[in-house]
Amino acid sequence: MRVGIIRVLTTTDRRLLNSHGRLLQETFGFDVTSRCVPDQPSGVYNGESLRRAVPKVVELALEMAVDADALIVSCAADPGLAEVRGLVNIPVIGAGSAAAAAALTFGGRVGVLGLKHSVPGPISDALGERMLLIDGPESVETPEGFLMPTGIFDALAAAHMLVDAGADVIVEASTGLTSIGMADVLRSRLGIPVIDPVMAAGSMLVSAVASRGLPAPRELQAV
C-alpha cells in the first residue's frame, strides 16, 4: 500500500525527513513517500505556526493523494486534517488524534509528554479529564529541540515526573520524539505503556484499510 507521509517540519536532511516513513515501512510494510511543507523550519509549536501550516498541508496533500492509497499527517497538532479529509477520497490519519485514541484504550491517567507549555488540541480535547500534564521539557519549545542533547535529557526527566505524579500511560505529544526513538527508551525505563504518535497513526491506518477493504500491507498479508 502506498502511503504519503506529510512532515510539517521543513528540513533538507533526508535522514530526518524519512525517519517517520522508515519506521512505518519497517513496522507495517507500507510503501512510503515522505515530503515536508515549506517554510516551517520549527514545525508547529503554537497557534500561529499551526494556522500557517494548514494551507500548506492541504496543498501538499492534494499533490500526494494522486499517487497514494492513504496519507498520514505526521504532526501531533493534526494541521489541515479535517480540510484534507473533505477533499480526498482516501484514508487520511492525523498523528495527534491517533495517539490520543490509542492512549484512551488504556485505563487510568494519561501523562502527556510534549513541548514546553503546549499540548496539541487533538490530544487535549480527546483526553479531557484523564490528561495529566506537567510543563514540558524546559529546553524544548519547538519540535527540533528534541534533536539536541539537552532536549533528550529534559524529556527523560519530564517523563519520570509524569510517572511520579501518577501517570498510568504516557502519550508523546510531539512527533519530534518519534524522530529520536524516545518511545522505546521510555518503555524500558518506566515500565508503563508509551504511545508514539507516528506508530499510532500507522496502526489506525491498518484499521482504516481493513474497514475499506483495501489491499493489506504485504507484511500483514503474510500473517
Where do the domains of the chain lie? 2-95+199-221, 98-197
Residue 218 has pLDDT above 50, yes or no: no
Under 8 Å between Cβ of 28 and 1? no
Domain spanning 2-95+199-221, CATH architecture: 3-Layer(aba) Sandwich (3.40)
Q: How confident is the model at residue 9 (pLDDT cuts 50, 70, 90)?
A: very high
DSSP tag of 44: S
User: Beta strand pairing status for 110-113 and 169-172?
Assistant: parallel
* Arithmetic mean of pLDDT, 201-222: 70
Place of cell 514546553: 116
Q: What pLDDT does residue 146 have?
A: 77
Using only C-alpha atoms, what is the Rg of the chain?
16
Q: What pLDDT sits at residue 177?
A: 93
Q: Are 61 and 84 in contact (CB under 8 A)?
A: yes
Fold agreement (2-95+199-221, 98-197): yes
Nearest to 177 by CA among 115, 135, 104, 123: 115
Cβ(134)–Cβ(161) under 8 Å? yes
Its CATH class, for the domain covering 98-197, is: alpha beta
* Per-residue pLDDT tens digits for 16-54: 999 999 999 999 999 999 999 999 999 999 999 999 999
Answer whether 99's CB lies under 8 Å from 171's CB. Answer: yes
- 131 and 119 in contact (C-beta within 8 Å)? yes
- CA 53, CA 202: separation in Å to the nearest integer? 22
Show the cell assigned to 126: 480527546
Strands 70-74 and 131-133, bridge-based pairing: unpaired
Assess contact for 173 and 115: CB atoms under 8 A.
yes
pTM for this structure?
0.89
What pLDDT, on a 0 to 100 scale, did the predictor assign at position 24? 97
pLDDT digits (tens, 9 = 90+) for 155-205: 898 999 999 999 999 999 999 999 999 999 999 999 999 999 999 999 999
What are the φ/ψ torsions at residue 178 (nearest 5 degrees)? -65, -40
